[in-house]
Structure 1
Amino acid sequence: MFVSAKSTSSSVHSDVADKYLVSKLLGKGACGDVFLVFLEADFSRQFAMKIVDKKSFTSTIIAPSATTSGVLRSSANDVLSEVNILKQLQHPCIIHVHEVFDYPDRLYLVLERAIGGELFDRVVKKDGLDEFTAKLYFYQMLLAIEYLHSKNVVHRDLKPENILLASEADMTLIKVTDFGLSKLVGEQSLMKTLCGTPNYLAPEIIKTSGMGHYNSKVDSWSLGVILFIMLAAYPPFSDDYNDMPLVEQIKKARFSFADHAWKSVSKEAKNLISKMIVVNAAKRFNCTQALRHNWLKDEVMVKQVEELMKKDIDTRDATAKKPSSEDVNASVMQNISHESEADLLNNTVQLKNSCKENADLTVGNVSEKDIVWKLEEDSSESCSGAKKAKVDKLN
């Protein structure tokens, strides 16, 4: 059900509530809750809003430093600079940061929405992915993280929950999310929090609780773990393995390819995993080296990815050039006459349908049957005016 942003449990700040209509909770994570939101001025535009409660990081910080404080960097200008960097990142396999609101107690990230859900859920639902699909997703992950690294952004928290799918189809783009969050909430604070669930973290992070020196190859380790999980449907490191504590498993890169899950997986795939889950970071593959691996020299897969990426870019460009809602509304009203009661009834239906098309609320997981439309009795009401009163319920 659509609710005022001001009435949500997250107590959204008024500036955010005035601009976005909060619909429903999409998910919860270690760094904050994610809500489906719509732009108040144009219901055709839906986003995912991540709300980060800065207070949750306060107790994990050890001490302020020159670049980090108990919650955020001490300088508001530094935060603004990082926000601008994130907003400028443009890659089809990376979630686009549409807007950021920064307050002393909360951070609001308005993000592109990926309607296919989390990679984690897809892997669980299918009990592991076939090798071609895993390869298609992994190739995109490497392209995305290589791009981030070229912009001096290290993700640090790569896991299946932070890899989203653009659609519900098997052959779909992936979208990396939650990148650069440490730049906004404070690196030390975030690292101390993440080390509480280390399943995907590189050993060099765990050994120093995130306070030591490490480089972009921490992302390579995490990607290797993700590839393992996509193909086997179980993790290489787990608390469930009783012969060795989880942290020790990771520090020693102690994992194996059990026959029951890996007998049908190619030697090339297993070889690539073995090149990425390596304790010595100097010997661990980076993204560029991984992209050159024989397993990914698949022309059919590469062509499929290129087509998906091109379609995503074309769609984004088309959206940017889309006529404004005011232009569409004016055109609709010019073509509606009211010469008779029959015409009036017919025109009301036309107006309703036009508003529905303009709002485009059937995109993704929002189905038409979930929406109750309200139109003013006066059929001369514009679509933009009708939009503000049209939605009563959304499950």
Structure 2
Amino acid sequence: MALFKPGNVEDFYELGDVLGKGHFGQVRRVCERSTGLYYAAKFQKVCKSTRGLHGVERDQVEREVAVLQLLSHPNIVTLKDLFESREEVALILELVSGGELFDFIAEKDELLETEAIFFMTQILQGLSYMHQQNIAHFDLKPENIMLSEKVSRPNIKLIDFGLAQRLDSGQEYRSNSGTPQYIPPEVIKYEPLTTAADMWSIGVITYILLSGLSPFQGDTDAETLNNVSEVKYELGEGPFRTTSDMAKDFIQKLLVFCPGDRMTADECLLHPWIKPITRKQMHKRNRSSINMKNFKKFNAKRKWKMSLNMVWMCTRLLSLQQRRRAGAEADPLQRECDSDVEDAQRSQNSAVLKTLGGSDVISSHRCAAQRDPQR
């Protein structure tokens, strides 16, 4: 059970600028009064009802906090403090101020594979540490890979542990949550999950990083999920014309249907693409580069989608608030139906500021349709 401090955050921290806003809260820069050090305060409204529209579930916050309290690694965001009021909790986190890794890369004119490997190595080191403790992230994607500071050789930080789970021995864990283009087949099929789910996401992220294309992205979520289920992707010469064979092999050993056949984080760190064995391997790797033209296009489209979803979310919430004010005495059954609609819409459009712990959710009826390809 997480131990939250009662009382006012402002007794201990001076509130600063708003760094971002999400569905049920905001992140603000804060300064600890006793030390003068800066942190990020993640404020979240909490609701008791699993169907509530006014906050995140208390159990979800407890789970995220419990995971963060177990983790202490240079490549994982650190939790410092916890506060709780009647309707809100505040997580005091390490201030990660360098922005998203993909944004940092998109500003470059060129990037060698060796530089990409420098970033991937840090991500894998953080994952290896987590997986050794039987903790899976379950929401790895570009929005959740940040930089401590924006410097020439930045330190990577994994953030947003809202879907993270400690996988206790003897217990099965299933989930239908995640972002369609990054989730593995076992999520779609609603099968027991392991840390191998994270390794599939690493394969997708590496594919995008090197080619500037998303391996399974379709025109619709349903098409994307079908491509994932069938492991339908290509390593074409066009987008991968400057990619080393070792990098392609690295991807192919992660985007594998059977979770047990994927490389682990530790095995990835020993793969020749990450850790060359011969001079020939090192020379080939050092001469290869990523497809910056495609990568810049991918990142611009990704940011546009995030902005569009944020606008949609704000408009939707405003509409719901107006309807509640106008129909305070409306039929209770109708109000419940409105909640059902909001839940369904929210599950399809929730790409918001990721430090707030939001995630896209695959609705259960779509998962059911994907479990049997013949349906």
Q: 1:117·1:164 contact (CA, 8 Å) conserved in 2?
A: yes
- String of CA shifts for 1:258-284, please: whole Å, max 9, x gaps: 333211111101110111111211211
Aligned to 2:255: 277
Aligned to 1:33: 26
Q: Which runs of 5+ in 2 are unaligned?
A: 1-5, 167-171, 283-375
1:262 is the counterpart of 2:252: no
Q: 1:154·1:180 contact (CA, 8 Å) conserved in 2?
A: no
Which amino acid in the other structure matches residue 256 of structure 2?
Answer: V
Distance 1:29 1:14 in 2: 23
Distance 1:289 1:42 in 2: 41
Q: How much does 1:136 deviate?
A: 0.6
Aligned to 1:250: 228
Aligned to 1:202: 184
Aligned to 1:72: 58
Aligned to 2:216: 237
Aligned to 1:292: 270
Which amino acid in the other structure matches residue 267 of structure 2?
Answer: Q
Q: How much does 1:14 deviate?
A: 5.3
Q: How much does 1:116 deviate?
A: 1.3
Q: Mark the CA change 1:88 to 1:282 in structure 2 (over 3 Å): closer, same or farther.
A: closer
Q: How much does 1:296 deviate?
A: 0.9
Distance 1:240 1:15 in 2: 47
Distance 1:71 1:108 in 2: 14
**SS of 1:148 mapped into structure 2:** helix
Q: 1:127·1:233 contact (CA, 8 Å) conserved in 2?
A: no
Q: 1:203·1:250 contact (CA, 8 Å) conserved in 2?
A: yes
- String of CA shifts for 1:299-338, please: whole Å, max 9, x gaps: 99x9xxxxxxxxxxxxxxxxxxxxxxxxxxxxxxxxxxxx
Question: What TM-score do you get using the length of structure 2 for normalisation?
Answer: 0.62
Distance 1:285 1:60 in 2: 40
Distance 2:232 2:257 in 1: 10
1:135 is the counterpart of 2:144: no
**Range with greater deviation from structure 2 (149-158 or 100-109):** 100-109
1:17 is the counterpart of 2:3: no
Aligned to 2:41: 49
Q: How much does 1:220 deviate?
A: 0.4
Aligned to 1:67: none
Distance 1:176 1:57 in 2: 29
Aligned to 2:206: 227
Q: How much does 1:233 deviate?
A: 2.3
Q: How much does 1:134 deviate?
A: 1.1
Distance 1:20 1:222 in 2: 36
Q: How much does 1:28 deviate?
A: 4.5
Distance 1:273 1:92 in 2: 25
Which amino acid in the other structure matches residue 238 of structure 1?
Answer: Q
Q: 2:7·2:84 contact (CA, 8 Å) conserved in 1?
A: no
Aligned to 1:59: 51
Q: Which of 1 and 2 has higher RCO (CA within 8 Å, sep 6+)?
A: 2
Which amino acid in the other structure matches residue 12 of structure 2?
Answer: K
Aligned to 1:151: 133
Distance 1:116 1:253 in 2: 34
Q: 1:123·1:233 contact (CA, 8 Å) conserved in 2?
A: no
After the TM superposition, which residues 103-182 of structure 1 pair with which residues of structure 2 at under 5 Å, given as runs? 105-126=87-108, 129-179=111-161, 181-182=163-164
Q: How much does 1:157 deviate?
A: 0.7
Q: Mark the CA change 1:249 to 1:104 in structure 2 (over 3 Å): closer, same or farther.
A: farther
- String of CA shifts for 1:188-242, please: whole Å, max 9, x gaps: 9x955x44x322111211222xxx4111101101111111122222322223489
Q: 1:129·1:231 contact (CA, 8 Å) conserved in 2?
A: no
Aligned to 2:196: 217
Q: How many residues align?
A: 267
Q: 2:102·2:142 contact (CA, 8 Å) conserved in 1?
A: yes
